[in-house]
Amino acid sequence: MKGKTMAQQIHSHAVVWIDNLMAKIFFIGLTGVGATTVRARKALAIGACGVNDDPTFLVRVGGTLSSCTDLLIIGPETERTKLLDFLRTNRLDLTLHVETSNPLTDREVVALGRKRFRLD
């Protein structure tokens, strides 16, 4: 599968692993998996980077999920909660699932999504 656009058009299920630096988004379906990364832009202050320092970060993550209807969010509590609150406000059509997890490999994230969405 090539590029995030094709993945977004085909798959309505996604898993987001988010921290203060980036959101890794995995679009999951019966036909395969597509992935993309949205990075937080660094603010002008030294050491600043993340959800609090980049007001466009959550907007860009939300935009990447535009074709998604069912979403699992995992990652550290602060960023996970901020994304959840943002999507609850801006994407009322989205079915949201949240899980606590330790850092995972990309394969583990995809496996968790397949299990959650019953795509095995």
Number of domains in the chain: 1
Dihedral sign, Cα of residue 106, residue 107, residue 109, residue 114:
positive
Rounded to 5 degrees, φ, ψ at 86 are -60, -45
Which candidate, 30, 14, 15, 26, places its Cα nearest to that of 74?
A: 15
Domain with 92 in it: 3-116
pLDDT in tens, 54-94: 899 999 999 999 989 999 999 988 999 999 999 999 999 99
Q: Which two tokens stand for residue 77?
A: 């509590």
Query: Which pTM was predicted?
Result: 0.83
From first CA to last CA, the distance across the chain in angstroms is 19
